[in-house]
Structure 1
Amino acid sequence: SVMLKQPKRIIVCEQSEERRNFIRAHYPEVLITTPKECDKFVKSNSDHGGADRVLEVAGGKDTFQLAWQCARPNAIVTIVALYDEAQTLPLPDMYGKNLTFKTGGVDGCDCEEVLQLIEQGKIDTTPLITHRFPLSRIEEAYQLFENREDGVIKVAIYNE
C-alpha cells in the first residue's frame, strides 16, 4: 500500500530473517534492516537525517521508541500497532524533533477502495497469503496464525 504513494524509498525494519527474505524475494526495491541497525541505517539512507514518515506496525516492547528515533525532525509517525503496555512520550529526549503523531488501528472505512485497488491490480496481496482454510477449519487457521507457525503471514478463509 505504501508503494501507491510512490515514495523515493521504502525502508523496512524487520527482526525476523524469514520475513526479511520474503521482502527480498517479493519487493526487491525495498531496503531492509534489522531493529539493531535500524536507526543508523535509516539515517544513512535518508535525505534529511531520518525518515519523513514512519509507520509503526509491530507493537513490540521497544518499537515505539525506535519509530520516533528513526524519524527526522518535523516527520509524521503513524502508530497502527497495539501495545501490551502503555507507551511513554519521553519529551526531553524528543525535544527539537517537532514530530506529529497519528494513532489508530486498522481503519475499515477504506475497505471498498482497497478491494477496488486489489481488483485493478494496483495492490497485489497474493504473496502475503501463505495459507488457505475453509470456513469449517477457522479455529485451526486462527491457531496457526496466533502461534506464527509454518511461516504464516496471512490466512485466507473461504466458504466451502
Structure 2
Amino acid sequence: MIPFTQDVSVFYGTIYGGIIIGLLFDIHRGLKHNFKFINYFSLFFDLLFWILVTLITFITINAIEFFDLRYYHFVALFLGFILYYNTISKFVLSVINKIILFTTNSCKKTVHYIVAILNNLYYVIIYSIHLMFDIIFYIPNIFLSAIRCIKRKSIKRIKN
C-alpha cells in the first residue's frame, strides 16, 4: 500500500501534467486563430492535438507512477487543466498570439526585403547584359554606318 503523502505528491505531479495539457491547448488555439489554413485542415490538427495530449498523459503517468493507473490521475489531469485555464490561460494565449504575430511579420518583412533585393539584382543583371549586347552589336554597327555614310558623301563630292 502506498502511503498517503506519496499519493498526494503523485496527485500534484499529475496536476502539472494537466497544466502542460492546458498550455498545449492554448498553443493549439493560438495557431488556429492566427493561421486560417489550419481551419481547412482542422481534422488533421485536432487529431495531432489529441495524439499529443495522449502522449503527455502517458508520459506523465509513466514518470510519476510507472503506469500504475488510478482514477485520481484523470481527476488531477482535469483539475490541472481547469486550474490553468481559469488562471493564466488568457495571459499565455495573448503572449502566444503576440509571438505568432511577431514571427509572421518578421517572416513577411524578410521575404519582402529578399524579393526587393532580388528584383533590384534582376534589373542590374538585365541592364548589364543589355549594355553588353549594345557594346557588342549596336556600337560597331553605328561606326560602320557612320563610315558608310562618310564614304557615300565623299563619293558624291567626287562626282560633283
More strand by share: 1
The TM-score with structure 2 as length reference comes to 0.20
Higher Rg: 2
The TM-score with structure 1 as length reference comes to 0.20
Which has the bigger relative contact order, CA under 8 A and spacing at least 6?
2
